[in-house]
Amino acid sequence: MPTIHWPSERVVVTGGAGFLGGYVLDELRRRGATEIVVPRSRDYDLVDMEAVKRLYRDARPTVVLHLAARVGGIGANRDNPGKFFYDNLMMGVQLIEAARHAGVKKLVALGTICAYPKFCPVPFREEDIWNGYPEETNAPYGLAKKMLLVQSQAYREQYGFDSCVLFPVNLYGPRDNFDLHTSHVIPALVRKCVEARERGDRSIVVWGDGSASREFLHARDAAEGIVAASERYEKSDPVNLGAGFEILIRDLVPLVARLCRFQGEIVWDTTKPNGQPRRMLDTSRAAAEFGWKARIGFEEGLAETVKWYEENPS
């Protein structure tokens, strides 16, 4: 496999205009990349194969980083299961197929922790990814992403095509999506707490009963992992990207509230779903295969995120 030398590569980053994409672009530029193409959906609908082929003709990439996804929290997944399945499956499958024909030398796609079984032993190890059905509310999204893993392995075996799929935990950080309907738990909590404090509310309402656990990875750390895998990982076995800890939602909420300086009551709406019961990844494979490990402390990253939102309210 030809080595990656960023100053001489032409890199397509799907989803490069998004939250994680911004950090990936920062990391690519830090490592010397100058020719970076970020396709926008208004110009290239990646669900359409002809648009994907046109993108490759226009950009002539040597490396493709596929970060684009149709995503959202529990509510958005519950409202759009068909769209989340179809759009995510077709984007990924077609980008990989067209990359093979276009002579792309490396493709790294982003999967999702939602691909893991609902009752997966903790910490989640890559070997367990097929040992059960995902949590129902986000199974269509998770399974669509998991098909890219099958494709990557099959294409390496049959065509010698160099690609891999990485499986990150929930990401957070400055510049996240803070929309209350489509965001994930941390930005939603930050927005709720800051707005409640500013309005003088006496309480906030949080979904579920707080018993679920989650692991969170700063998007800057995730970007470093994606670029490191591009440079040094030459297999198609799945690889987790995580921070190596779990926190109960019932402990996360008061932590976020404290950092947001919200002192009111936390009301748990137990009529709403918790999502997957527990989440925490085994990240030893990423360390062994391409020398990556998360560096940013959780409370440090949360404080940075809160500060950014207060300076850039939605």
Concatenated DSSP letters of 242-271: --S--EEHHHHHHHHHHHTT--SEEEEETT
**Which residue, chain included where needed, has tokens 């009752």?**
119
Give dist(CA 286, CA 228) in Å, integer.
Answer: 9
CA 82 – CA 109 distance, rounded (Å): 21
**CB contact set of 180 (below 8 Å; sequence gap of 6+):** 188, 191, 192
Amino acid identity, position 284: S
Catalytic residues: 141
How crowded is residue 183: how many other Cβ atoms within 10 Å of its Cβ?
23
d(CA 38, CA 28) in angstroms, rounded, equals: 12
Q: Give the position of tokens 């950092």.
A: 259
Nearest to 18 by CA among 304, 297, 226, 257: 226
